[in-house]
Structure 1
Amino acid sequence: MPYPKGHKLKVRNHIITSAAKAFRTHGVRNISLPHIMKGAGLTHGGFYSHFENKDQLVKETCHFAISDTMEMLQKVADKNKNEDQSAIEAVIDFYLGSLHRDQTEVGCILPALSGEISQLSEEIRQAYTRELQRFITFITELAEIDTSAGYALVSSMVGTVALARAVSDSKFSDDLLQAGRTQAKQTVNTGSK
């Protein structure tokens, strides 16, 4: 019996979603294809009917994960925007908050992969670079700041989350997030167009 129309795309999306969760939590090198396929509810044997290799999966997963993060942050901006807080301040508070730090499986993939990406293939590095540029553009436009300030803002945000997730002392981690929020908001204020 043939599969219904759209079945292969649906399965492919399940694989990418499983990979995004796994890469966000454990990085790329520490995750096997069988682990990703199991997370999608599939067997390892079906992987190659959807992707040429792991590099292709990583590239497509980076694109999916950044799109997912931007959509989530846009919702935060839209929901929390009020007279007392701008959209970018709401995004900064969320991105540099304990919930985002602690829920790695649904968080931004940039801090999760930043430490290992330079050691992966050139093809993956190029994909990561494109997705970082897309994320910088999103944040820069949301903040209504110049490009240089956008680079600084995103670098600060991604670096803060990476460090806050890495340390073993929870108070130190919280302090890093607080300092990051303060600095990010100062960057927005000084980088306004």
Structure 2
Amino acid sequence: MPYPEGHKLKVRQHIITSAAKAFRTHGVQNISLPYIMKGAGLTHGGFYSHFQNKDQLVMETCQFAIGDTIETLQRVADKNKDEDLLPIEAVIEFYLSPLHRDQSEIGCILPALSGEIPQLSKQIREAYTQELQHFIEFVTNMAEIDTSAGYALVSSMVGSVALARAVSDAKLSDDLLQAGRMQAKRIIETATHQTTTPTKGQGD
């Protein structure tokens, strides 16, 4: 009996979803294909019906995971439209929260993989780079700041989460998140001030 239409695409998506959870939690190099397939409720032998190799899975998982994070952050921003927080402030508060730090399995994949990406293939690095650029564009547009300030903002956000997850001292971890929130908002305030302040000679 043939599988229903769309079955293969659904199975493929199950594999990518399982991989995203595994890579976010444990990284790429420490996770085997059988582990990922088991997480998807499948046997290892079926993997190569959907992907050429692990590198292809990693690349597609990066794309899926960043898209998933952007959707989550957009929902956070939309949910806070009626609050005192600006959309980007709501995103910063969520991204640099203990909740996001502690739920790495469903969190942003950028801090999870940033330490080992340089050790992986050129193709994976290119995929990671492309998705990082998508994330920077999303954050920059939401904050309504220039690209240079967007680089600084995303670096502060991703770096703060990576360090907060890495340390063994709970208070230090919380302090790193708090400092990251303050720094992220300071970057936005500085960038906004620079774009709204008249240059010398204007208004004379």
TM-score grouping bracket, smaller chain normalisation: over 0.9
Deviation at 1:83, TM superposition (A): 5.0
Contact persistence 1:81–1:90 (CA under 8 A): no
Task: Show the 5 A alignment for 1:70-89.
Answer: 70-82=70-82, 84-89=84-89
Q: Give percent identity, aligned residues only.
A: 79
Q: Distance in 1 between matches of 2:71 and 2:79?
A: 12
CA distance 1:82–1:9, shift in 2 (3 Å): same
Q: Distance in 2 between matches of 1:76 and 1:147?
A: 22
The aligned length equals: 193
In structure 1, what is the equivalent of residue 198 of structure 2?
none
Structure 1: stretches of 5+ with no match in the other structure = none
In structure 2, what is the equivalent of residue 39 of structure 1?
39
In structure 2, what is the equivalent of residue 136 of structure 1?
136
Q: Distance in 1 between matches of 2:38 and 2:83?
A: 46
In structure 2, what is the equivalent of residue 119 of structure 1?
119
Structure 2: stretches of 5+ with no match in the other structure = 196-204
In structure 2, what is the equivalent of residue 181 of structure 1?
181
Larger Rg: 2
Q: Distance in 2 between matches of 1:161 and 1:69?
A: 14
Deviation at 1:188, TM superposition (A): 0.8
Q: Deviations over 1:163-188 (max 9, x none)?
A: 00000011110000000000000001
Q: Deviations over 1:149-175 (max 9, x none)?
A: 000000000000000000001111000
Q: Distance in 1 between matches of 2:130 and 2:181?
A: 25
Which amino acid in structure 2 is aligned with residue 105 of structure 1? E
Which amino acid in structure 1 is aligned with residue 123 of structure 2? E
Q: Distance in 1 between matches of 2:19 and 2:100?
A: 19
CA RMSD of aligned residues (A): 0.7
Normalised TM-score (structure 2): 0.93
Regions of 4+ moved over 4 Å = none
Q: Deviations over 1:76-128 (max 9, x none)?
A: 00001335210000000000000000000000000000000000000000000
In structure 2, what is the equivalent of residue 147 of structure 1?
147
Normalised TM-score (structure 1): 0.99
In structure 1, what is the equivalent of residue 165 of structure 2?
165
In structure 2, what is the equivalent of residue 25 of structure 1?
25
Are 2:7 and 1:7 aligned?
yes
